[in-house]
């Protein structure tokens, strides 16, 4: 049992207000053959004001990933680090309220950055990590994701094996966390290169050097289906929490370019697109389906963020800043998709919002970039 909080002072609000759409008959249709279909009001949408940079800073230490929180804030994590979060909702808020209070009840960092191949859980910066698992050298951890409800921690390994731990958060006991023995999942024949999890559809997806991506059941921890046909390693992937669609990325074989594929949750290939520049990371916007057409954002090797339609991978726009020209290693929309954050290989953090929102208070960007664990006791 584990009990404590990593950043228990962090509190946030998720804003689900509906914003009226400005009328503009000159906007391109999301799909030319479909009338009445609208883009949406998220940052980067063709029907919204232009994206503008509101944050640009250099941080000390490399950035491994950006994690979007349900509080509408974003965490920047060091390499070989993941985040566990348990949320609470305001029980006094009206069910039909447009604004729902969401707070962080408990949190911890999962780290696997030491040569001893021990996985540790860090509850506070100034306390030693708790050892929770150890891997063999030939099956060292290469990547890790956690379920949004903190009910699973999933590790990809050098050997291609996936180890998944079920977890039981128990808020009635001051949010103790029980971590159960691991379940081994086998399908890949080579190193796991990337993992992505979707709490809405209760799946996670793994990508491998063997050129395949695999969909797994998050609750049963079992195989669902494989996504095949990639010409090389699957280097990045993401899952839409609004549609369940999956994007996979592999090298295109043409110089330094990438090949992007869009799949349904059932494994049907929807669209494919080549990009002349290498795509290092991807993320979907999460505007409400049915009233919006979302975009897939890709972080490119030259510092550009490219947006494609989530329906057919048609190019929508490029989002750039003049001071960033090195590869983007992670990208994330806020929970309401009104802000887009990107992290570069050299430690720059950039944030974009809609031009008409730049004077408003923006979501928090919390950084956990010290990957040095305290001495073992």
The full DSSP string for 53-76 is EEEEEE-SS---EEEE-TTS-EEE
Confidence category of residue 3, pLDDT binned at 50, 70, 90: very low
Dist. CA 159–CA 140, nearest whole Å: 8
Q: Report d(CA 244, CA 200) in Å as an integer.
A: 8
Structure tokens at 352: 């974009």
Spatial contact of 194 and 207, defined as CB atoms under 8 Å apart: yes
Calculate the alpha carbon distances from 209 to 191, 233, 236, 293 in Å: 5, 4, 11, 32
Average pLDDT over residues 247-256: 87
Distance of alpha carbon 326 from alpha carbon 330, whole angstroms: 12
142 neighbors 193 (Cβ within 8 angstroms)? yes
- Give the mean pLDDT of 260-277: 97
The Cα–Cα gap between 344 and 252 comes to 22
Q: Within a 13 Å sphere around the CA of 107, how many CA atoms are in the beta-carbon half?
A: 22
- Where along the chain do its domains lie? 40-91+101-368
- Averaged over 303-312, what is the pLDDT? 97
Q: Greater confidence, 123 or 336?
A: 336
Q: pLDDT tens for residues 360-371?
A: 999 999 999 874
Least confident of 33-37, 65-69, 72-76: 33-37
Q: Please report the DSSP string for 73-127 in residue order.
A: -EEEE-TTEEEEEEEEE-TTS-TT-SEEEEEEEEEEEEE--STT-EEEEESSTTS
Q: What pLDDT band is residue 9 in, cutting at 50, 70 and 90?
A: very low
State pTM to two decimals: 0.87
Identify the pLDDT of residue 377: 25
Q: Which residues contact 322 (CB under 8 A, 6 or more apart)?
A: none
Q: How confident is the model at residue 232 (pLDDT cuts 50, 70, 90)?
A: very high
Burial of 135 (0-12, 13-18, 19+ CB in 10 A): buried
- Long-range pairs for 357-364 at CB < 8 Å and ≥24 separation? 357/49, 358/52, 358/54, 362/54, 362/55, 363/12, 363/72, 363/73, 363/74, 363/334, 363/339, 364/10, 364/12, 364/73, 364/74
Collapsing DSSP to helix, strand or coil, 356 comes out as helix
Residue 354 binned pLDDT confidence (cut-offs 50, 70, 90): very high
CB contact set of 6 (below 8 Å; sequence gap of 6+):
107, 108, 109, 122, 123, 124, 125
Tell me: pLDDT of 43 over 80: yes
Half-sphere exposure for 319 (CA within 13 Å, toward CB): 31
Closest CA to 284 of 250, 319, 310, 312: 310
Query: Is the per-residue pLDDT at 177 higher than 90?
Result: no
The H or E element containing residue 330 is strand 328-333
| Cα–Cα distance, 174 to 240 (Å, whole number) | 32
- Dist CA 99 CA 14 (whole Å): 7
pLDDT at res. 91:
63
d(CA 85, CA 153): 11
pLDDT band at 16; cut points 50, 70, 90:
very low
Q: Give me the chain's average pLDDT, please.
A: 87
DSSP designation for 289: B
173 vs 295, residue with greater confidence: 295
Specify the CATH architecture of the domain 40-91+101-368: 7 Propeller (2.130)
Rounded to the nearest 5 degrees, what angle is found at the Cα of 279, between the Cα atoms of 289 and 112?
Answer: 90
Supply the pLDDT for residue 293: 94
Query: What length is written for the chain?
Result: 377
Higher pLDDT, 130 or 316: 316
pLDDT tens, position by position, 142-156: 999 999 999 999 999
């Amino acid at each position: 049992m584990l009990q404590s909080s990593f950043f228990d002072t962090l509190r946030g609000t998720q804003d689900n207000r509906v914003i009226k759409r400005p009328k503009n008959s000159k906007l391109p249709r999301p799909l030319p053959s479909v009338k009445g279909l609208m883009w949406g009001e998220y940052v980067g949408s063709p029907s919204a004001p232009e994206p503008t940079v509101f944050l640009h800073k250099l941080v000390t230490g490399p950035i491994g990933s950006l994690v979007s929180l349900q509080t509408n804030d974003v965490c920047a994590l060091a390499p070989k680090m993941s985040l566990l979060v348990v949320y609470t909702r305001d029980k006094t808020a009206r069910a039909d309220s447009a604004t729902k209070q969401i707070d962080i009840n408990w949190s911890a960092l999962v780290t696997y950055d030491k040569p001893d191949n021990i996985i540790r859980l860090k509850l506070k910066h100034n306390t030693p990590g708790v050892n929770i698992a150890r891997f063999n050298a030939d099956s060292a951890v290469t990547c890790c994701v956690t379920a949004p409800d903190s009910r699973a921690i999933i590790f990809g390994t050098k050997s291609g094996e996936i180890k998944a731990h079920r977890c039981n958060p128990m808020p009635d006991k001051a949010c103790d966390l029980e971590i159960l023995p691991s379940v081994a999942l086998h399908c890949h024949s080579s190193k796991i290169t990337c993992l992505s999890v979707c709490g809405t559809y209760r799946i996670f997806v793994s990508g491998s050097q063997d050129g395949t991506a695999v969909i797994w059941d998050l609750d049963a921890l079992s195989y669902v289906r494989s996504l095949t046909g990639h010409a090389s390693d699957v280097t990045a992937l993401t899952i839409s929490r609004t549609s369940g669609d999956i994007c996979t990325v592999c090298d295109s074989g043409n110089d330094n370019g990438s090949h992007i594929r869009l799949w349904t949750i059932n494994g049907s290939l929807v669209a494919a697109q080549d990009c002349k520049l290498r795509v290092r990371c991807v993320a979907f916007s999460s505007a409400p389906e049915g009233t919006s057409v979302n975009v897939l954002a890709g972080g490119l090797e030259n510092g550009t963020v490219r947006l494609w339609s989530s329906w057919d991978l048609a190019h929508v726009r490029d989002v750039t800043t003049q001071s960033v020209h090195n590869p983007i290693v992670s990208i994330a929309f806020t929970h309401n998709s009104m802000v887009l954050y990107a992290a570069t290989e050299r430690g720059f953090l950039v944030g974009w919002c809609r031009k008409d929102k730049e004077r408003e208070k923006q979501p928090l960007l919390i950084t956990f970039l010290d990957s040095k664990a305290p001495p073992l006791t």
